Chain A
């Protein structure tokens, strides 16, 4: 599905909770929430994809949602804002949302990097493809 200007989409049905993939086909994250800003005529438009527990938590709602958000807060480096991918990087809206920058250079998933470095990389064989 390619996107033409003027196409109509329903944000919740067609954008939220979809998989974000990078140009190498690697999975980046889910669209946990969307950042909106008002244009000069007071109409909201999408400026970024928000991700991570601090974006997902409020959408879960209730006590569980607060927990998720609080855990995200604890894990995040101090003063680091909620992870976002600017909408200018989005190249396609289909069954997945394509972005133009490789996962490694988006710097939005610190937990994956931490698990990779401190757990998985220490297990022998983690650098090789399967045989």
Chain B
């Protein structure tokens, strides 16, 4: 599996309601130790309505300037949802379902916090 197989994938909740597309993979460096670093392990999917402009980082960072750009980009990404990997339906092993299905309803997911990503 490649990272690009997950990025851009549509996400549906338990009831088949479209949540958006995967814009990023939030990882923790606590995977198996390989060489000097622990491998990044996917902890959650960041899901937004669009992909456009997500890489600019404004959707995840409340302080980043300038104001004009922040407002424009956040308008595009009003609803950024953090979907923990544990609720992603992976039971049917092998290739992941396309689109990704969740085991929970959209309403039960936490909205992304506005603070900047640790890093």
Please determine if A and B sit in direct contact within the complex, based on CB atoms under 8 angstroms apart: yes
**Interface 9-mer from A4-12, A19-27, A71-79, A104-112:** A4-12
- Which residues on B sit within 8 Å (CB–CB) of A11? 3, 24-27, 40, 42
**Given A7-B28, A7-B29, A11-B42; A44-B85 close (CB under 8 Å):** yes
- Which residues on B sit within 8 Å (CB–CB) of A100? 35-36
B35 touching A91, Cβ below 8 Å: yes
Tell me how far the C-beta of A51 lies from the nearest C-beta in chain B, rounded to whole angstroms.
Answer: 12
A46 touching B39, Cβ below 8 Å: yes
Say yes or no for A90: interface residue by CB 8 A criterion: yes
B55 touching A13, Cβ below 8 Å: yes
Residues of B within 8 A of A (CB-CB), count: 37
Q: A10-B24, A33-B3 are known; give 14 further A-B pairs, CB within 8 A.
A: A8-B26, A11-B3, A11-B27, A12-B25, A33-B2, A38-B1, A43-B42, A45-B31, A45-B39, A58-B4, A87-B39, A91-B35, A91-B36, A91-B37
- Residues of chain A at the chain B interface (Cβ within 8 Å): 1, 3-16, 33-39, 42-47, 50, 55, 58-59, 86-91, 93, 100
